[in-house]
Amino acid sequence: MSGIIGKKIGMTSVFDDEGKHIPCTVIEAGPCVVTQVKTLEKDGYSAVQLAFDDMKEKSSNKPLLGHFKKAKTAPKRKLAEFHDFRQEVKLGDTVTVEMLKDDIWLDITGVSKGKGFQGVVKRHGFSGVGQTSHGQHNRVRAPGSIGSSSYPSRVFKGMRMAGRMGGTNVMMISLRVVKLIPESNLLLVEGSVPGAKGSYLIIQQ
């Protein structure tokens, strides 16, 4: 599935032709450079590797500098592979947001905001157990029983408990394209996407 790498700029809202108020996310999509074209004969699978967002040479290591030199481009911060790329591209080509001009729906993947260690109410949506009266002490947001004592005398895998929350890959499926601004490499999609401002996104057709 072909696509492009982007960066989350922030959120705004627009009005459509019918006057409806639409909240949307602004994404800087590309330009991306083709840094590798993988083939079935040489690599065992076919894919196109794209690179996005310039960085200083001193911030990159020697193997990567050599990799970017083959594509005749400056070092980039983000690399991503796309299988079954629609466009015919070769090493060193530039892919812009204009490739999405015919798309109405997009799948967008990003890393969600990290929330740290959270309890079961915030992490899993538990309602909390017990009452807040009749001498109840401090068990309002507790998870309740997590398993039997005598048998099986252990906690089953997958038990919803407190723990680290966020910081995981999340894909938003079928987000509607609201507007495309090719001259500024900007893409507006309806609704929110995972991640904080400035985080990288994988945009798939």
- Degrees, nearest 5: CA angle 38-201-63: 45
How many distinct structural domains can be found in the chain?
A: 2
Helix (H) or strand (E) holding 10: strand 3-15
Q: Is residue 51 part of a domain?
A: yes
Q: Is residue 98 part of a domain?
A: yes
72: left (phi over 0), alpha (psi -120 to 50) or beta: left
Does residue 134 sit in the same domain as residue 96? no
Does residue 98 sit in the same domain as residue 126? no
State the pLDDT at residue 130: 64
Place of tokens 């798939």: 204
State the pLDDT at residue 134: 75
| CATH number of the domain within which 55 lies | 2.40.30.10
Q: Is residue 136 part of a domain?
A: yes
CB proximity list for 78: less than 8 A, separation 6 or greater: 5, 51, 52, 53, 200
Does residue 83 sit in the same domain as residue 22? yes
Does residue 10 sit in the same domain as residue 90? yes
CB proximity list for 112: less than 8 A, separation 6 or greater: 166, 167, 168, 169, 170, 194, 195
Does residue 173 sit in the same domain as residue 130? no
Does residue 39 sit in the same domain as residue 57? yes
Does residue 23 sit in the same domain as residue 108? yes
| 3-class secondary structure, 138 | coil
Q: Could you report the average pLDDT of every consecutive run of 10 residues in the chain (205 residues)? A: 89 89 91 90 89 88 88 89 84 87 90 95 86 74 87 92 95 92 91 93 91
State the pLDDT at residue 43: 86
Give the separation between CA 164 and CA 57, rounded to whole angstroms: 35
Q: Is residue 39 part of a domain?
A: yes
State the pLDDT at residue 7: 95
Instruction: Round to the nearest angstrom and report the end-to-end CA distance of the chain.
Output: 7
Sign, CA torsion 83/84/89/94: negative
Q: Is residue 150 part of a domain?
A: no
Q: Is residue 43 part of a domain?
A: yes
Q: What is the pTM of this model?
A: 0.83
State the pLDDT at residue 50: 92
Q: How many residues does the chain have?
A: 205
State the pLDDT at residue 119: 93
Does residue 106 sit in the same domain as residue 173? yes
36-44 CB contacts, 8 Å cutoff, 24+ apart:
36/67, 36/71, 36/91, 37/89, 37/90, 37/91, 38/81
Q: Is residue 182 part of a domain?
A: yes
Q: Is residue 84 part of a domain?
A: yes
Does residue 30 sit in the same domain as residue 97? yes
**Which residues span the domain enclosing 126?**
115-144+158-165
Does residue 34 sit in the same domain as residue 104? yes
Give the separation between CA 53 and CA 36, rounded to whole angstroms: 16
Query: Backbone phi, then psi, for 146, in 5-degree steps?
Result: -115, 10
Does residue 48 sit in the same domain as residue 110? yes
